[in-house]
Amino acid sequence: MSTLRFRALKETFNRKPIAVTEPERRSSIFGANVFNEHAMRQYLTKDSYKSVMDAIENGSKIERAVADHISTGMKEWAISKGATHYTHWFQPLTGATAEKHDAFFETVENGQAIEKFGGGQLVQQEPDASSFPNGGIRNTFEARGYTAWDPTSPAFIYGTTLCIPTIFVAYTGEALDNKTPLLRSLQTVDKAATAVAKYFDKNVTKVNATLGWEQEYFLIDKALAASRPDILLAGRTLLGHASAKGQQLDDHYFGSIPTRVLNYMRDLETECMLLGVPVKTRHNEVAPNQFELAPIFEEANLAVDHNSLLMDVMDKVADRHNFMVLFHEKPFAGINGSGKHNNWSLATNTGTNLLSPGSTPMKNLQFLTFFINTIKAVHDYEELIRAAIASASNDHRLGANEAPPAIISVFIGSQLTEVLDELEKVTNGKLSPQEKTELKLNVVGKIPEILLDNTDRNRTSPFAFTGNKFELRAVGSMANCAMPMTVLNAIVAQQLIEFKESVDGLIKDKKMKKDDAIFNVLREYIKKSKKIRFEGDGYGEAWEKEAAKRGLSNNKTTPQALKANVSKKAIKLYEDLDIMTKVEIEARHEIQVEEYAMHIQIEGRVLGDIARNHVIPTAIRYQNLLIENVQGLKNIYGSTFKKFAGEQMQLIESISEHIAQINKGITDMINERKKANKIEDAEKRAFAYCDKVKPYFDEIRYHCDKLELLVDDEIWPLTKYRELLFTR
């Protein structure tokens, strides 16, 4: 009997739900471990408080002397909450979060000690972070990198550590993290959107991008997960035959949440409340053992930090409940994978959601302006969006007939399509009073009404308008939201800048009225961006053909998709907007293609190991049993034994064939890996891994999975799909 698998199963069957205690009211603990406005009012002087608020609201600099005051207040608050350590908390280009804890504790003269945390330690640190990916920007001989406080994301206590969100940059100024370009993109889109919003409301002085992510994940018993080397090392199953029952009955989606899982969620949500992560929604997802969690949306930088923090908290709480969280986009073949929908919008300091239709024609013109500009931005830079969501793991999901395809398109629903069709007919030049009245009454004025019953949401679209926000659905569940958000902010900012120039140009040169000019520019954008709009089934083959005809990109693999990031067009965009320099862009590209190749390399090694060292020996053991059986039958029946041993003999042959195929596959795969490893150029290496190495995965897996069906269940060493997916 295969001990690891059966021990794990036994352990799982014996589990009891872990008891959790929840506060009576969540609101009473919300943000209790966050150095938020409430805590700052208590622990900071008026001037320090004002200085932080000013930095948050207007991006002003915090003076060093003030930082000393702030750090003292922050330390007192943290110690009162039981914190002993502090850390700069940042997001290097690994995609995960990084922390290095230092104690508040310092020794002073006479063998005494105090708790100390100065302004310097708050504002800047120099982690010995030479092992983070830097794409050649910062090798160990050059200047080191440093982390710097980001006051727009409040410090929080996690466990007994005060965590201070920071950016991570090289001394020469290049960003080494995900947050720095995101912050730059937020500033850029703020400026561009504020200028346009002022057409409609002079009181607007700031525009924030907002983000509400929806996090999908799988929850697998810890013992079962640990019994699978592929889950442990690659985050997904590299082989395993489909379970007889999967998700075909649709009985998991929105079903009743299993008690063990529910207790996990309750515990997790309590942690989130303390950390000020406003989680609100939880439910079962489509696949067995798949779930989803969604918060109330927030300012995008904070939301990105909260999602990164959440993923870390999810891991830790899962451990308490004897679960392992799988964030991988496709942990199991044949059933749905996981994504992270990024709901995005723009909100003004006056409280208006710029992508929400309003109650007056003027407000609706504002809505249409931002709506159409966003569509145009996606049209112009669709390849950058595709690149922003590219990863080895997300490749399994995009285009796999369950998630959005690798083709980026925009879904807006039939009613808004009608509105755009009407606007496309607007007169060239000045509009007559009749035309304007007609537009106000029958087109622009009707939007709020029609949106209310606009329920035809298209689940197959990668970028869908859902009433008052756009939803980028193609983001991977493992991804850091910063990258897709940076791209979206950047391209919309660029688009709004162009829009403003065109409108101002018409007002000045053609003496047009403001709304005439706006209608004229929007009309042209509607025409120009038509090909990105698609209302049909994004999963179908017909769409692939149609998209190709339209000239839309269809970059199916990560190495292919990432190319767009280093195109002339992309470099110009990011440099013009001061979001990333050419050096930063190229460094990132280098890191990503390298990461891709390593990812596939690891998977290839794990698969080779499992197939050769677990699957084949087991198959041989079973084959020996069959051989013994056949020999026995021959002993008893002599020359007529074949009448009774025919089936067994066929099995013996099949097993041999599968074993041969597996061995051949692995040998060939290793040869391709060796060839790929010799390639100097990182991008070419990534392509080699993608096109030459990866194709063997399916082939090797196919034969392993066939053996799983043939071999005695009692000796099969790998925990099976039905056990992973239906034990909870």
Q: Which residues bind Mg ion (CB under 5 A)?
A: 341
What is the pairing mode between strands 113-115 and 105-107?
Answer: antiparallel
Q: Which of 294, 420, 475, 633 binds ligand ADP (CB under 6 A)?
A: 294
Whole-Å CA distances, 96 to 133, 309, 402: 12, 9, 26
CB closer to ligand ADP out of 485 and 591: 485
Distances (CA, A) of 345 to 85, 216, 452, 456, 470: 37, 21, 18, 20, 6
For 79, list phi and psi in degrees, rounded to 5: -65, -40
Name which of 63 and 456 has its Cβ closer to ligand ADP. 456
- Shortest separation between residue 86's beta carbon and ligand ADP, angstroms: 31
Q: Are 431 and 438 in contact (CB under 8 A)?
A: no
Binding characters for ligand ADP, 446-485, by CB under 6 A (x = yes): --------------------x-xx-x--------------
- Residue placing its CB nearer to ligand ADP in the complex, 279 or 659: 279
Decide: is 269 part of the binding site for ligand ADP (CB under 6 A): no
* Binding residues for ligand ADP restricted to 326-365, rule: CB under 6 A: 343-345, 353
Q: Report the distance separating Cα 32 and Cα 314, nearest Å.
A: 19
Phi/psi for 145 (5° steps) reads -95, 165
- Beta pairing partners, 398: none
Instruction: Tell me the closest approach of the beta carbon of residue 212 to Mg ion, in angstroms.
Output: 9
- Token reading at 598: 């390593």
Which residue of this chain has its Cβ atom nearest to Mg ion in the complex? 341
Cα 305 from Cα 151, distance rounded (Å):
12
Q: Which is nearer to ligand ADP, 426 or 481 (CB)?
A: 481
Q: How far is the CB of 207 from ligand ADP (least distance, A)?
A: 12
Beta bridge partner(s), residue 147:
125, 168
In the complex with ligand ADP, the residue whose CB is nearer, 119 or 357, is: 357
Nearer to ligand ADP, 352 or 560 (CB): 352
Q: Which structure tokens are listed for 418? A: 């009608």
State how far the Cα of 391 lies from the Cα of 394, in Å rounded to an integer.
5
Q: How far is the CB of 471 from ligand ADP (least distance, A)?
A: 6
The footprint of ligand ADP on residues 186-245 (CB under 6 A) is 210-212, 214
Which of ligand ADP, Mg ion, none sits in contact with 345, Cβ below 5 to 8 A by type?
Answer: ligand ADP
- Decide if residue 290 touches ligand ADP (CB under 6 A): no
Pick the closest to residue 384 from 553, 180, 218, 215 (CA basis): 553
295 touching ligand ADP, by CB under 6 A:
yes
Give the shortest CB-182-to-ligand ADP separation in angstroms: 15
> How far is 551 from 347, CA to CA, in rounded Å?
33
- Quick one: 146 or 218, whose CB is closer to ligand ADP? 218
Q: How far is the CB of 405 from ligand ADP (least distance, A)?
A: 19
User: Which residue type is seen at 510?
Assistant: K
Asked if 502 contacts 584 with a C-beta cutoff of 8 angstroms, the reply is: no
Helix ranges restricted to H, 30-170? 37-43, 46-58, 64-80, 119-123
Binding ligand ADP (rule: CB under 6 A), the pick from 65, 296, 548, 660 is 296
CA-CA distance, 708 to 716, in Å (whole number)?
7
- Taking CB positions, which residue lies at the least distance from ligand ADP? 212
Residue 300 or residue 398: which is nearer to ligand ADP going by CB?
Answer: 300
DSSP 339: B
Q: Of 469 and 703, which CB lies nearer to ligand ADP in the complex structure?
A: 469
Residues 112-141 that bind ligand ADP (CB under 6 A): none
Q: How many residues make contact with ligand ADP (CB under 6 A)? A: 16
In angstroms, what is the minimal distance from the CB of 214 to Mg ion?
5
Taking CB within 5 to 8 Å according to partner kind, which of Mg ion, ligand ADP, none is near residue 648? none
Nearer to Mg ion, 341 or 589 (CB): 341
CA Rg, the chain, in Å?
29
Three-state DSSP at 214 gives strand
* Burial class of residue 111 in the structure, from the number of CB atoms within 10 Å of its CB (0-12 exposed, 13-18 middle, 19+ buried): exposed
Nearest distance from C-beta of residue 370 to ligand ADP, angstroms = 12
Which residues of the chain form contacts with ligand ADP (CB under 6 A)?
A: 210-212, 214, 294-297, 343-345, 353, 466, 468-469, 471
